[in-house]
A and B are shown apart, each in its own frame.
Chain A
Amino acid sequence: KNQVEQSPQSLIILEGKNCTLQCNYTVSPFSNLRWYKQDTGRGPVSLTIMTFSENTKSNGRYTATLDADTKQSSLHITASQLSDSASYICVVSASYGQNFVFGPGTRLSVLP
């Protein structure tokens, strides 16, 4: 069964600190993986997208990694800001049909 798991479920850090969010998936055949940021009461907004051949991709203070062999991805946030408080969702796309599998998200709270 195609699944996406994320950990931790929630995370609290102090402003300025770094953090890493994890995503494990069993989606096959794999096409690409995307990290989204979802602010409370808003729709998800794309942060990064990675294909099978990409190991690392950065978007400002966000860096995503992908290990297609172990089917794991991580999202590293550097020098966190209060505005980083949001849910971060990992989405994996299979290479057929409209088969996007969404993870449950990690709720990040950045405190001053």
Chain B
Amino acid sequence: NAGVTQTPKFRILKIGQSMTLQCAQDMNHNYMYWYRQDPGMGLKLIYYSVGAGITDKGEVPNGYNVSRSTTEDFPLRLELAAPSQTSVYFCASSYSGDLGPGYTFGSGTRLTVV
């Protein structure tokens, strides 16, 4: 199994540009999450989804949008990139929605906004 796959691994954006971070999982998990990790800080939840067609805001949703048209995919959209969005982004998925067995992270996307 591939688990949770994130693309791209690295990206440099100019201020004001937009992009989509891709996340796909092949474990048939209902729950999917997007986090950002800033240096020296804990992961912060941006958005999450409890199933296809259902999304909800996390702790730091401003400047981001998500959609969940299929169980497998959960893309994160940045519409107007800002330097404050420079971070490492992690996608995760789980079956039960708790930090139980099977809560799996992707390998991350490092985004720099200049």
- Residues in A lying within 8 Å of B, measured CB to CB: 4, 9, 31-32, 34, 41-46, 49, 89, 91, 93, 98, 100-105
Contact = CB atoms under 8 A, between A and B. Distances in A.
Nearest to B42: A102
- Chain A: interface secondary structure? strand
A111 to B, nearest CB: 22
Contact of B42 (A41, A46, A89): A89
A32 B99 CA distance: 7
Contacts of B40: 9, 104
B97 A98 contact: yes
Contacts of B107: 41-43
B51 interface: no
B23 to A, nearest CB: 11
B101 A44 contact: no
Interface in B65-114: 90, 92, 97-101, 103, 105-108, 110
B42 A4 contact: yes
Given A44-B90, A89-B42, A102-B35, 20 more contacts: A4-B42, A32-B98, A34-B99, A34-B103, A41-B108, A42-B107, A42-B108, A43-B4, A43-B106, A45-B105, A49-B100, A49-B101, A91-B99, A98-B33, A98-B56, A98-B58, A101-B42, A102-B42, A102-B44, A104-B41
B99 A93 contact: yes
A110 to B, nearest CB: 21
23 contacts: A4-B42, A9-B40, A32-B98, A34-B103, A41-B110, A42-B108, A43-B90, A43-B107, A44-B90, A46-B103, A49-B101, A89-B42, A89-B43, A93-B98, A93-B99, A98-B33, A98-B45, A98-B48, A98-B56, A98-B58, A100-B45, A100-B99, A102-B35
A105 B42 contact: yes
Contacts of B56: 98
